[in-house]
């Protein structure tokens, strides 16, 4: 009997024009947490999709509990005991939480769904996992963090032998991460094997027993977590040393570009006022639900402002729609890359030029489009065989780079970036940070929203902290500390 619950050997997966997996291996012991590491585009999610039947490998061998498998679809994988929490959430918004948890396997009374039992089963599951979410609430009314916890509960509900977690903490606060880790330890005690994919290296060393590293579709190494340092792991992941994670340099700070006075947007944003200057990176910090995203959505015209004034270069703006903001030189890289960022079924080129179509005339000047897209794809180091690839085929980090390219083409004066490195690997993170610093150096005024305190502290000139829709303070660099920010973020100041 093998000591491994799963053995994947020499896995090859090819897509048109690209070999995504080049003979990869993964061996998983029961009752362990196994980190699957690598930059975006390394092939981690592709490998897992080959395991659960979303993709079909071209060659190689998969043994699960000692038997060779090749699942035709995810349903078969689930029925066999392998479940996966995907990086990109896909809830059914107009159905209840309990319907989302048990979709496709609802308890029945004859030919009718037994809603009472379904609710009771959900409550029992949530009680076991210490999740306090109303099973009757519409899924679409939940925060992204709550949706993530529902997805985690759903995966656990299958009582699987293997649970794959792809970036499970990307939307969670530190408290919620601690909650997830309790769930993971509970599963480990039940002899469940967990594949844990994350770019948050501090988490990896907290929760993982073993680490398998991939790079550019190839297997690099498997190590016990206690036998490897963060620096050694990064070097294996990127094939080089990443020396400067937060390459913030002091740029000349110019005059005020954006002035926000007493901005309110319903209950989500209450009386927020601040100024943003040329060449400045203004960080927004706060816990989930603090109103950071809602504030910038109101500035950008995605959310109706109920009161307050917005000035650019001393002139009051009347922003009712995103087009108004874009026309006034304001750009927003949204938090929800999949929901309102990329157009998945269009090419990289189409996604890059989307905000700048007017610059290419009618009919479109395809020669100029190709030149611009080639330039920005190269500048941002987007990993793709060609620019006609559908953007949904790219890794999350590369999708994010395309969205950055989209806004850089518009050459905005003010760039708002909401969680710009969420779900992005350490190498791409460093590149995005360098790019943001470079843009500030060129005189752009930047608002950076991040839930990662080291990121917002490492990149910002000043930090605006919010709590329950209100601004609780603005800190200068010499006042930065995690303790101080958390005091403001929890409303204790």
Lowest mean pLDDT among 156-170, 297-311, 456-470: 156-170
Residue 160 has pLDDT above 90, yes or no: no
Mean pLDDT of 168-187: 83
* Nearest-angstrom CA–CA distance, 233 and 239: 10
Are 108 and 228 in the same domain? no
* Nearest-angstrom CA–CA distance, 105 and 89: 19
Q: Domain containing 176: what range?
A: 6-91+150-238
By percentage, how much of the chain surpasses pLDDT 70? 94
> Which uninterrupted H or E stretch holds 463?
strand 462-467
pLDDT at 40: 66
pLDDT at 425: 67
pLDDT at 242: 47
Grouping H, G, I as helix, E, B as strand and the rest as coil, residue 16 is coil
210, two tokens = 């073993």
Q: What's the mean pLDDT when you consider all of the chain?
A: 86
In a domain, 458, yes or no: yes
pLDDT at 35: 95
214, two tokens = 């991939």
Are 117 and 156 in the same domain? no
Are 403 and 368 in the same domain? yes
In a domain, 251, yes or no: no
284 forms beta bridges with 449, 464
Chosen domain end from 177, 204, 238: 238
Residue 43 has pLDDT above 80, yes or no: yes
Are 137 and 154 in the same domain? no
- Tens digit of each residue's pLDDT (9 = 90 or more) over 219-259: 999 999 999 988 788 788 777 554 455 666 677 788 999 99
In a domain, 243, yes or no: no
In a domain, 178, yes or no: yes
pLDDT confidence tier of residue 414, bands split at 50, 70 and 90: very high
Residue 340 has pLDDT above 70, yes or no: no
Are 171 and 54 in the same domain? yes
- Tens digit of each residue's pLDDT (9 = 90 or more) over 50-106: 999 999 999 999 999 999 999 999 889 988 999 988 766 678 888 999 999 888 888
* Nearest-angstrom CA–CA distance, 458 and 437: 11
In order of 31, 353, 372, 385, 402, the CA distances from 389 in angstroms are 39, 14, 16, 7, 12
What CATH number is attached to the domain comprising 458?
Answer: 3.40.50.300
> Which uninterrupted H or E stretch holds 33?
strand 33-37
Are 423 and 307 in the same domain? yes
Grouping H, G, I as helix, E, B as strand and the rest as coil, residue 316 is strand
Domain tally, the chain: 3
306 — phi, psi (to 5°)?
A: -90, -20
Compute the CA torsion angle 297, 300, 302, 305 (nearest 10 deg): 80
Lowest mean pLDDT among 2-11, 180-189, 335-344: 335-344
Compute the CA torsion angle 80, 86, 91, 96 (nearest 10 deg): 50
In a domain, 202, yes or no: yes
In a domain, 246, yes or no: no
- Tens digit of each residue's pLDDT (9 = 90 or more) over 355-384: 777 777 788 888 888 888 888 788 877 878
- Tens digit of each residue's pLDDT (9 = 90 or more) over 123-136: 998 988 888 899 99
Q: Which residue has the higher pLDDT, 263 or 114?
A: 263
Residues 83 and 163 sit within 8 Å (Cβ to Cβ): yes
Are 84 and 97 in the same domain? no
Mean pLDDT of 452-456: 83
* Nearest-angstrom CA–CA distance, 191 and 390: 39
Residues 409 and 369 sit within 8 Å (Cβ to Cβ): no
462, two tokens = 């000043």
Are 102 and 209 in the same domain? no
Are 272 and 176 in the same domain? no
- Looking only at the bridges linking them, the beta strands covering 307-312 and 462-467 are unpaired
* Nearest-angstrom CA–CA distance, 161 and 126: 20
pLDDT at 354: 81
pLDDT at 252: 78
Pick the closest to residue 302 from 284, 322, 319, 285 (CA basis): 322
- Tens digit of each residue's pLDDT (9 = 90 or more) over 303-316: 999 999 999 999 99
Are 340 and 455 in the same domain? yes
In a domain, 261, yes or no: yes
pLDDT at 196: 95
* Nearest-angstrom CA–CA distance, 318 and 301: 9
Chosen domain end from 174, 208, 238: 238
Are 313 and 355 in the same domain? yes
Are 86 and 97 in the same domain? no
Report helix angle 396-410 to 366-379, nearest 10. Answer: 120
309 forms beta bridges with 261
């Amino acid at each position: 009997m093998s000591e491994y619950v799963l053995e994947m050997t020499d896995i090859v997966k090819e897509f048109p024009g690209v070999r995504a997996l080049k003979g990869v291996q993964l061996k998983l012991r029961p009752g362990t947490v196994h980190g699957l590491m690598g930059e975006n585009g390394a092939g981690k999610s592709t490998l897992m999709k080959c395991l659960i039947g979303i993709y079909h490998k071209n060659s190689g061998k998969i043994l699960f509990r000692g038997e060779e498998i090749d699942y035709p679809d995810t349903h078969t994988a689930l029925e066999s005991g392998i479940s996966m929490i995907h990086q990109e959430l896909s809830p059914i918004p107009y159905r209840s939480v309990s319907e989302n948890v048990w979709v496709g396997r609802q308890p029945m009374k004859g030919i009718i769904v037994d809603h009472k039992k379904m609710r009771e089963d959900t409550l029992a599951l949530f009680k076991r996992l210490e999740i306090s979410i109303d099973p009757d609430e519409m899924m679409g009314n939940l925060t992204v963090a709550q949706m993530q916890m529902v997805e985690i509960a759903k995966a656990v509900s299958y009582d699987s032998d293997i649970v794959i977690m792809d970036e499970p903490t990307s939307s969670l606060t530190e408290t919620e991460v601690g909650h997830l880790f309790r769930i993971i330890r509970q599963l480990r005690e039940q002899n469940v094997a967990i594949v844990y994919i994350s770019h948050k290296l501090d988490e990896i060393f907290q929760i993982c027993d073993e680490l398998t590293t991939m790079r550019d579709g190839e297997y690099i190494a498997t190590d016990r977590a206690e036998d490897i340092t963060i620096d050694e792991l990064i070097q294996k992941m990127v094939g080089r040393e990443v020396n400067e994670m937060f390459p913030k340099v002091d740029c000349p700070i110019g005059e005020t570009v954006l002035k926000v006075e007493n901005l309110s947007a319903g209950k989500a944003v209450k009386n927020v006022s601040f100024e943003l200057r040329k060449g400045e990176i203004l960080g927004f910090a706060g816990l989930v639900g603090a109103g950071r995203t809602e504030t910038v959505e109101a500035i950008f015209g995605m959310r109706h402002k109920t009161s307050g004034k917005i000035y650019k270069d001393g002139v009051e703006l009347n922003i009712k729609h995103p087009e108004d903001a874009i026309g006034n030189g304001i750009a927003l890289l949204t938090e929800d890359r999949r929901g309102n960022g990329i157009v998945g079924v269009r090419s990289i080129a189409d996604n890059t030029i989307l905000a700048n179509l007017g610059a290419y005339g009618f009919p479109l000047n395809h020669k100029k489009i190709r030149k611009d897209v080639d330039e920005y794809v190269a500048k941002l180091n987007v990993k793709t065989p060609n620019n006609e690839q559908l953007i949904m085929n790219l890794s999350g980090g590369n999708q994010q780079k395309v969205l950055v390219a989209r806004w850089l083409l518009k050459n905005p004066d003010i760039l708002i970036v909401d969680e710009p490195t969420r779900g992005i690997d350490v190498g791409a993170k460093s590149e995005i940070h360098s790019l943001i610093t470079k843009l500030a150096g060129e005189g752009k005024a930047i608002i950076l929203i991040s839930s990662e305190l080291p990121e917002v502290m490492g990149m910002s000139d000043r930090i605006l902290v919010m709590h329950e829709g209100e601004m609780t303070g603005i800190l200068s660099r010499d006042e930065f500390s995690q303790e101080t920010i958390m005091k403001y973020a929890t409303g204790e100041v």
